[in-house]
Structure 1
């Protein structure tokens, strides 16, 4: 994407979850819209009790609705779009947790332990489950855990027990099927080319349409822009390289597709709330 086009984007801050000593971050949100790309350094479980929208992950588009549960592994770029209104009231619960710390509590529960490893490791695919039949049970579990957190009465074993209960309710095989849309095809193309200096003309040509059509169609299907997604994807990869390589910041900027080093620094600070060096210092594991 040309640098001048990128400058006009108002990208959103990407969430870095600060887990407490109980290895979990539990949040219930009501009556608030959602519309941004993000990822986390930890696992996220998203359960929707009211409202309808879309989720973009793994080059697929899914319907966000009651009876659907999402599991996003660490580092998985995704977007949830739900427009809150009187006719579309959005209630959702997110559970972020340290799967490594909680795994020790699953030693006597082999099925849950295996599921935890399969679903929650970095590099694993995001999973989307239809849980309509057990949604009332899930809602009850989340309501009870909310009471514990409100009164500060829970500990790490309570966190592990909640996660194990949620995992035990997942169907063996039944996963929701994503939709292959124009925007998802475009995202798959970007996944192969985001490290290159590609313009909107290049993208439209690859999709066999005009620039205007590509932009309008992408926005219609995702409520976002091509430029926004490309910036997010590049910065997400930059974060990975900052934490898991010894490359310099300038080298990383070039590897993820930024042709101007100063613009990379500006974009990174705007989206992450830190400069690349500050991010590396704050979140790199000691060696």
Structure 2
């Protein structure tokens, strides 16, 4: 890993196809927004503190800086489009439309395209992919126009939906509570046995179910959350690296430096220079 990993992504779109079940092991969080569109197959996406089950015709919205991981659960063909764009690109779209589309539209969650609109959505996404890959004259401008159209559509679909938490799997809901608890107590020196005791389960059970539902180990999730908070402080505060480590729950600044570099590819001081 190197600085290329942290280069600004203004806009890109990829089409990914794979056969059978798989767990993605890519970057856990990054500095740009992402939209997933499932054209074929099924997958589970853990975003922030919640797991979403996606199938053909579903979108997942992942705001910049949000911890996430994907599991493909279909044994057959899985096809996913990944649209990535920077916070700056989102602001440009808002300015162009003279409306705050991205602020409301880029909110973590799942959105289902109406069945009667899925063919049109797939055509739009494929046209965006063609313009991005072939780069004809004004292709970049057209990509951003198509992205704006997609964001407007997603905002409309979301406005027409009602959150139905009543159908949430009990295990998903419980692990969402665990993730929320970890975030709330991230600055403390909490341990797996303490978290398990709080939820009245054994450490081994909590560890197994949390990993099964989120794709992360309990400690792994906690460390990544702390590092995500540290990234914000490195870019947006004048605190020293040692102060940031302490404020984010790392009792050992040397361990913080090692964990930060493992997660981001850069030392805390080098990451701060990105600003």
TM-score range, shorter chain: 0.7 to 0.9
Q: CA deviation at 1:59?
A: 2.4
| Partner Cα separation in structure 2 for residue 268 and residue 108 of structure 1 | 37
Distance 2:92 2:130 in 1: 25
TM-score relative to the length of structure 1? 0.81
Task: Give the RMSD, CA atoms, in angstroms.
Answer: 2.3
Partner SS state of residue 220, structure 2: helix
Is 2:204 aligned against 1:212?
A: yes
In 2, Cα distance between the equivalents of 1:188 and 1:204?
14
1:165 maps to 2:152? no
State the 1:238 CA deviation: 0.8
- 1:115 and 2:98 correspond: no
Task: Call closer, same or farther: CA 1:105–1:204 in 2, change over 3 Å.
Answer: closer
Q: Is the 8 A contact 2:33 2:84 kept in 1?
A: yes
Alignment match of 1:64 (pick from 54, 72, 76): 54
Deviations 1:158-188 (A, max 9, x none): 1221112212322133156453522111101
Structure 1: how far apart are the matches of 2:140 and 2:87?
A: 12
Does residue 90 of structure 2 align to residue 98 of structure 1? no
CA distance in 2, matches of 1:159, 1:104: 13
Match of 1:244 in 2: 236
Structure 2: how far apart are the matches of 1:93 and 1:176?
A: 24
* Corresponding residue for residue 145 of structure 1: 128
Q: 1:102·1:160 contact (CA, 8 Å) conserved in 2? A: no
* Preserved contact between residue 105 and residue 151 of structure 2 (Cα < 8 Å): no
> Which is further off, 34-43 or 258-267?
34-43
Q: 1:126 aligns with which of 88, 92, 108?
A: 108
The structure-2 alpha-carbon separation of the partners of 1:106 and 1:225, relative to structure 1 and needing over 3 Å to count, comes to closer
The structure 1 residue matched to 2:195, chosen from 186, 203, 222, is 203
Residue 107 of structure 1 deviates from its aligned partner by 5.2
Q: Which runs of 5+ in 1 are unaligned?
A: 1-14
Alpha-carbon distance in 2 for matches of 1:97, 1:203: 36
Pairwise CA distance, 1:239: 0.6
Cα displacement string for residues 81-101 of structure 1 (whole angstroms, at most 9, x for unaligned residues):
225x7x232211111113544
Q: Is the deviation greater in 212-221 or in 235-244?
A: 212-221
1:203-237 deviation digits (Å, cap 9, x = unpaired) = 11111111111112212222331122111111111
Q: How many residues align?
A: 258
Q: 1:242 to 1:109 in 2, by over 3 A?
A: closer
The structure with more helix, counted as a fraction of residues: 2
**2:257 is the counterpart of 1:265:** yes
Q: State the shift of 1:274 in Å.
A: 0.7
Higher relative contact order (CA 8 A, sep 6+): 1
The structure-2 alpha-carbon separation of the partners of 1:198 and 1:26, relative to structure 1 and needing over 3 Å to count, comes to same
1:48 is displaced (CA, Å) by 1.0
